[in-house]
Chains A and B, each alone.
Chain A
């Protein structure tokens, strides 16, 4: 019985404490980042999409070997002056796990991860990317959807 009255008196006080917490938050300004109008810069180490400097690539295939999901494939051919030359460098984005191992392992830093993070498409074919194409990410690097 004593407990009953105790709770009757002190219960509301503790309830009000909770209300005070929410009220304090009600009057503090919102912390929301209003995405399409405000955008935050990606961090220095941000792992976006895989990108390539074709000139730097020495075709060592280390990235292909270390990729846990086998999303990279490169072929090379013999160029006119008997030098190895990149023929194709395919990147299957839908398999990629953005772990960054390929970029870390690349000896010449030819392969790197860019800062693009707004990626969406209604066509799955667009997710198979030819890394040798310079305009491959044009649609996502400067998104136009509002």
Chain B
């Protein structure tokens, strides 16, 4: 089963989703994410493993990238969520996948995406009193010296 097949299956259930041209990733509207995750984890697709969560700062928006994996079907699915940069909030997936806990904390720490209903949304890599979100493109810090 290929990524496009997964897209078609999701599309059947959730007509709002679309496909990214370049990467063939499934783009899910941010309010639909928990429902899609629930569907992905369910019997039909059995994506039992949330392999990785990451984010990309595209200046005007933040793209959240979820990589799901199904051990049963030996199959990978990439799901993306576009978030506006000034109000980056999305529902947490910790109730479906325990691995989401730390991944989401990391994304929060580095990109400032707020995950709603996360059990413990605190900074994970940087100290708790850290200012700013380091992996955003406009991040500055006196300690950060650019390589000439």
**Quick check: do A and B touch in the complex, using CB within 8 A?**
yes
Residues of A within 8 A of B (CB): 69-70
Contacts between the two chains (Cβ within 8 Å), count: 3
Q: How many residues of B sit at the interface, in one of the four size bands?
A: under 10
Q: Is the CB of B148 closer than 8 A to any CB of chain A?
A: yes
Chain B residues, CB < 8 A from A69: 147
Report B11-60 residues with CB < 8 Å from chain A CB: none
Chain A residues, CB < 8 A from B147: 69-70
Mind listing 3 A-B residue pairs with CB under 8 Å? A69-B147, A70-B147, A70-B148
CB distance from B62 to the nearest CB of A (A): 28
B145's nearest neighbour on chain A, judged by CB, is A70
- Give A69 to B147 CA distance when docked, in angstroms: 8
CB distance from A91 to the nearest CB of B (A): 16
- Give A38 to B147 CA distance when docked, in angstroms: 41
Annotate B109-148 by CB proximity to A: 1 below 8 A, 0 otherwise.
Answer: 0000000000000000000000000000000000000011
- Give A70 to B147 CA distance when docked, in angstroms: 7
B148's nearest neighbour on chain A, judged by CB, is A70
Chain A residues, CB < 8 A from B148: 70
